Chains A and B, each alone.
Chain A
């Protein structure tokens, strides 16, 4: 399968505001939110990105679309390095690269009818005139299950439930027929009884449009359900990457083990393997030397505290960044 998106050594650093003394001394500090990650997503593939808050997964998603400016690396989308594009070219390529946010209430204008919210980007991108855009928006509303679509077209976001608003956000992104979508915690705010239908909808668009997706989530059970392959991030780095089921059923990196082990489950009332990490995630301004997990990892040895482990292929298609793997 051809790659739709290839991310190489992507870095996004944010400057930290410093005190006056440090600034006089010319000292600068950075939060290395994303610190050299690489992965690729095939056409029609859903690629999961999981990790705890502050691990850099959201920044990674936004950097790929250049909603935040990366510090370095390459993002090859359909053969073009997105990071090298000028403003106009970027605007053009954005039609093909969309994003769905966690909170549809924040991404939909409260004063715009939802039908217009879907039609508007079509006009902006010059895909359709006003009348055609309306036609497409109606079709999309029907497609995401908001029927009768003529009636829904004229509603405002506050007249919809959270699940329905997320359907609108999906319809708006999909109306542009993108090749690639970042879904950032797209089902996290939706009640569990309605979550499955949103996931199903994304699954349908993947199949029908051969859509590639970067699916960012903190919920490992959701990743298991939808993502073909998944990468686990910790403090700006990918620590493990592989086929989702394999990665969850047989995690190799101690961090992945701890993460999977801590996720609640109805079917497992006994924890399989207790990997207890010490303390909590440290400050990203000054991550530990060597392996970033070394100060919390129960298996850490001297090499872990001095040398940063590289992401190596330990089984076919299964990559781990751990000296002990």
Chain B
């Protein structure tokens, strides 16, 4: 349904070109929960923004293809994109106030999201009530302003708006990062219900536990590149890239007494990323080839992709 090939996004800043996303390829199937996981600066949010054509300046998509249901979004005009946003592809942000207008009642905002796309007002109003109920918010909240609701409720409403036109793909960029765990769990449950009903989810998170608990497939990003990609269960059982192995070892677990180990060093400066594999300065297994040649993302087992010279 979504096919992304060699997506490359750079930020043209006053202090140099930041190579935020480099050569990222992946696909998301129908009714699939696909997650990008990575630490700050890994490029995961930039990928999400690129998918919906909202990379903030000075960022620019400088290469690649984003093919949704057979059409390349990067070749569309802003007008065409606008007709697709909400209808075929939609986005939920970390801060629901990114998409909610603080000065207008939430019911009106929900209705407008639908009438913009040609649904008549009466029908839109009925649908808004049903949508609110589907995200567990009483219908009388239609007349509330965003500030009268809690953070969790606001996020539910932004999900309701994002899914009002039944898009086939919902992009969720750290949608629970500002929320407490109990509310987070409820939002994750809600996203899962949407998936069960047929929506594909592209989820972006820095939270490794959250990523692995919920996703069907996962792409692990490091310094602007996908380093490993595959089924969530497979990646946990059989991580191959030294970064993913080390990352999994660094994550504390609420259910077990596992020891944790930090990854030495810092992520690279993306204005001047290291030659060869971008992880090599922190990798205990790096050899000469790692320092000179960039490893490609290869399928090493069925549906399990790794970008590492050391994996055969």
Contacts and interface: CB of A to CB of B under 8 A. Distances in A.
B22 to A, nearest CB: 20
Given A196-B262, A199-B260, A266 B251 contact: yes
Interface stretch (A59-67, A95-103, A169-177, A221-229): A221-229
Contacts of B214: 264
Contacts of A218: 180-181
Nearest to A225: B252
B122 interface: no
Interface stretch (A28-36, A150-158, A187-195): A187-195
A219 B152 CA distance: 18
Given A191-B39, A191-B206, A259 B257 contact: no
A247 to B, nearest CB: 11
Interface stretch (B56-64, B75-83, B165-173, B242-250): B242-250
A259 B182 contact: yes
B81 to A, nearest CB: 33
Interface in A183-233: 191-200, 218-222, 224-225
Contacts of B257: 224, 245
A258 B181 CA distance: 9
Interface in B262-282: 262-264, 266-267
A258 B183 CA distance: 11
Contact of A52 (B181, B206, B266): B181
Nearest to A263: B254
B254 A192 contact: no
B236 interface: yes
Contact of B247 (A192, A200, A220, A224): A192
B182 A192 contact: no
A264 B207 contact: yes
A268 B255 contact: yes
B136 to A, nearest CB: 9
Contacts, number: 105
A271 to B, nearest CB: 9
Interface in A259-288: 259-269, 277, 280-281
B74 interface: no
Interface in B184-230: 184-185, 206-210, 212-214
B206 A224 contact: no
Contacts of A220: 181, 254
Contact of A193 (B152, B153, B184, B246): B246
B256 interface: yes
A197 B261 CA distance: 7
B150 interface: yes
A53 interface: yes
A29 B263 CA distance: 49
Majority secondary structure of chain A interface residues (helix, strand, loop or mixed): helix
A52 B150 CA distance: 14
A52 B254 contact: no
B6 interface: no
Contacts of B185: 261-262, 264
A224 B261 CA distance: 15
B262 A265 contact: no
Interface string B24-48: 0000000000000001100000000
A53 B260 CA distance: 26
Nearest to A258: B182
B253 interface: yes
Contacts of B209: 221, 263-266
Nearest to B178: A53
Contacts of A52: 180-182
Contacts of B262: 193-198, 200
A220 B180 CA distance: 11
Given A194-B262, A195-B262, A258-B182, A264 B213 contact: yes
Contact of B250 (A193, A262, A267, A268): A193
Contacts of B150: 280
Contacts of A265: 209, 213, 253-255
Contacts of B267: 191
A309 interface: no
Contacts of A199: 260
Nearest to A222: B252
Contacts of B181: 52, 218, 220, 259, 262-264
Given A195-B252, A220-B181, A264-B210, 17 more contacts: A192-B206, A192-B208, A192-B251, A198-B262, A199-B260, A200-B262, A219-B252, A224-B253, A224-B254, A224-B257, A225-B260, A261-B185, A264-B207, A265-B209, A266-B208, A266-B213, A269-B213
